[in-house]
Structure 1
C-alpha cells in the first residue's frame, strides 16, 4: 500500500509538470484551461496481475484579475507656461491570467503633495491619452494612437500610455500639477471594442471559470480589489520671474546746467527701465521694451538708447550698448537674455517741452 501511494504521488506530479511546461507564465495558468489528473491502480490476485483501474479529475482554472500601473520614469516633467502637448508616461501591465481590455482615465490631482514633492497648485488642460504604438518610449503624435482604452492586452503584456496635456500661461516658477492614470480591467474578446465591465464571482467555487479580483494593493486613485490600478506623476513649472522698475533723474537744465538742476522746461531727463529676473528662475530671452513717451517730453537722439546696462547701488549706469531706437515718440529696445538673479537696463534721455 505504501508502494502504491508513492507511485500515485509521482504520477500526479508528472501530470502537473507536463501541464505547466505548455501553459505556464508569470501570471499563472491561463484562465479557462482545464487541468486533468488521472490516477492508475494496479494490483494482483493470487500472484496474477489484474486489469488496472483508473480514475481522473478535471477542474477549470478560474480567472485572476490583476494589473499594475506605474510611472514610466522617476522624475517630474519640467514645463514652461503656455507650452502644449506636455507628456508624462505610464506603463500598464496585465498581471492577470487572461487577456483583457483596460479602460483608461487621465486624472488630475487637486491639492496635496505631488508625486515628486511640492504641492499641487494648478490644473493642466486638454488632457489626452495616447498608446505608444511603435513602442519606442517617445511620444510622437503622428505615430502614436489617441485612445480611451487598451485593446486585447495579453496576460503578462505591458503597454505604455502617454498622458498629454497643455500648460496654462501665467504660472509661477516652481508651480506643480499632479497628473495620473487609472486603468480598469474589462472583458476582452472583440477587437477594437472596449469590453464589458467585469463582475467578480460571489459565493462558493463553481465548476465553470469564476472571476476573482486579485488587486490587493490600492493605488492613489483606486481601491483594493476593484479591478483597477492607478499611479501618479507631475509637472513642475520652470519659468522666468521678471520685475520691471522705471525710474527717472534730472541730468541738467538750461539755467543751472548740471549743478543742482531742476525739472524746468528744457531740462534733460534720464529714463531707466530696469528688468530683473528672480534668483533661481529660468532664463528669459528676447525681452522687448516698448515705451511710448508722453507728449510733454521730446526724445534726445544724441544720447541714443542704451541696452543691456547695469545697476550699481540702485543707480542705473550708462554702460549699455547703443542698440535701441525711437520712432514716432516710442522708444524700443531688446534685452537678448536675462538669467536668474540678473538685472539689465534700457536707458535714454528726453527733454521737458
Structure 2
C-alpha cells in the first residue's frame, strides 16, 4: 500500500510540474487564503478501539510578488521612417503574483541609442486601433489580478535626422505596488516593504500564522535585478530611410540664330531642364515625391512643350525623352517679370531607381 501511495505521489508531482507551465496557474494559491490540515490518530487498548484523537493546523498563504514584461509584435525592432511621429512598440505585462497588485510603468531610452527619441508615451490601446489617442496614456496599471496580462504600448517620435540602419531602443519597466483601490496607486513592493514571518509579530513574541507576509520572487529583467519587485524588457526601432539625391541639368535646344545646330544661350534660345531624382541602393522606397521649381524672371516657361514626369536617364545622367506629359504636373505661366513655376509629382521611387521631371523654357 505504501509503495502504491509513493508511486501516485510521483505521478502527481509530474502533473503539477506540467501544469505550472500554464499561465493560468502561474500565480498559485491566493495570498491570504487559509490552509487547514487535520490529522487523525486511531489506536486500541487491550484490543479495543479507542476514541480517535485529532489535531488541526491552520496557516495563511503569504504573498508572492512576481511579474514579467515581454516585448511583442514585430520580431526584432520595429521599422520606422525619419520624422515619423508616435511610432508604436508593444509589450505584454503579466502579474504572476498570487495577489492583485498595481503595476507602475516607466519607459526610458536605452543606453547607446543612435538617435534621440522624443515625446515618449506609455498607453493602453482602449479602442484597439494600434495607435495612440489622447486620453489613453497611463502611468500605472490599476488593480491587476493574479495572472492578469495587459498589453502596454509605447509611442515615440523619430527625428528627421535619423538615417537608414540607425536604431534606438526603449526599456519598459513595471514595478509592483500594493493594490491601492481603484484609481489609486498603492505602496511600492520592494526590499523595504516586505516582511519575514520567522520574526515575532505579536506582542508576546510569538509568530502569528494568520499574518500575510510578502516575498519578492521576480526574476532579473533587462535593467533590473532579481527579487526587487520589478521587471523590465527592451524593444525599439530601426530606421528604414530613402537615400534621395537630386541633380538638375540644363541643355540649350535651339536659338533664333543657329537653330538646333550648335545653339547658344542667347535671348530667344530654348533651354531644356532635366531634374533627376534618384534613390540609393538598399534604401526604403520614397513616396509622395513632389518637385517644385521656380524659374528666374529671365526665363519664360514653354507652354507648348509641357512638363514631363517619370522619365529615365541615360548613361551620362541626361534625361531620356520617355517621360509622361503633364501627368500629375502643372506649370504657372506668370506675367512677364514674374517668376514662372513648375510643379510635378513623381511615382514612388524604389531603391536603385531614378525618375525625372523635364520641361523647357525660353530665355527672355
TM-score by length of 2: 0.79
- Residue 313 of structure 2 corresponds to 311
- Residue 116 of structure 1 corresponds to none
Verify the 8 A CA contact 2:300 2:333 in the aligned structure 1. no
* In structure 2, C-alpha distance between the alignment counterparts of 1:143 and 1:261, rounded to whole Å: 63
- Residue 102 of structure 2 corresponds to 101
- Residue 337 of structure 1 corresponds to 348
Pair 1:166 & 2:150 matched: no
- Residue 233 of structure 2 corresponds to 231
Pair 1:209 & 2:203 matched: no
- Residue 110 of structure 1 corresponds to 111
Which segment drifts farther, 241-250 or 142-151?
142-151
Deviation at 1:203, TM superposition (A): 8.3
Q: What are the Cα deviations for residues 200-227 of structure 1, in whole angstroms up to 9, with x where unaligned?
A: 33584554322111113x1112221111
* In structure 2, C-alpha distance between the alignment counterparts of 1:236 and 1:175, rounded to whole Å: 6
CA gap 1:315/1:143 in 2 versus in 1, 3 angstroms: closer
- Residue 331 of structure 2 corresponds to 325
- Residue 188 of structure 1 corresponds to 179
* In structure 1, C-alpha distance between the alignment counterparts of 2:66 and 2:171, rounded to whole Å: 19
CA gap 1:74/1:266 in 2 versus in 1, 3 angstroms: closer
* In structure 1, C-alpha distance between the alignment counterparts of 2:116 and 2:194, rounded to whole Å: 35
Verify the 8 A CA contact 1:101 1:188 in the aligned structure 2. yes
1:41-120 correspondence runs (5 A): 41-75=41-75, 76-111=77-112, 120=113
List runs of 5+ in structure 1 lacking aligned partners. Answer: 112-119
Verify the 8 A CA contact 1:94 1:157 in the aligned structure 2. yes
- Residue 19 of structure 2 corresponds to none
RMSD: 3.0
- Residue 36 of structure 2 corresponds to 36
* In structure 1, C-alpha distance between the alignment counterparts of 2:294 and 2:357, rounded to whole Å: 14
Verify the 8 A CA contact 2:197 2:213 in the aligned structure 1. no
* In structure 2, C-alpha distance between the alignment counterparts of 1:25 and 1:336, rounded to whole Å: 55
Pair 1:346 & 2:363 matched: no
Q: State how many pairs are aligned.
A: 326
Deviation at 1:343, TM superposition (A): 1.0
Verify the 8 A CA contact 2:279 2:350 in the aligned structure 1. yes
Deviation at 1:194, TM superposition (A): 0.8
* In structure 1, C-alpha distance between the alignment counterparts of 2:308 and 2:212, rounded to whole Å: 81
Deviation at 1:278, TM superposition (A): 2.0
Verify the 8 A CA contact 1:133 1:144 in the aligned structure 2. no
Verify the 8 A CA contact 2:249 2:318 in the aligned structure 1. no
Decide which of 114, 127, 131 is 2:120's aligned counterpart: 127
Q: What are the Cα deviations for residues 223-262 of structure 1, in whole angstroms up to 9, with x where unaligned?
A: 2111111112222333433211111122233444333333
- Residue 250 of structure 1 corresponds to 252
* In structure 1, C-alpha distance between the alignment counterparts of 2:296 and 2:81, rounded to whole Å: 36
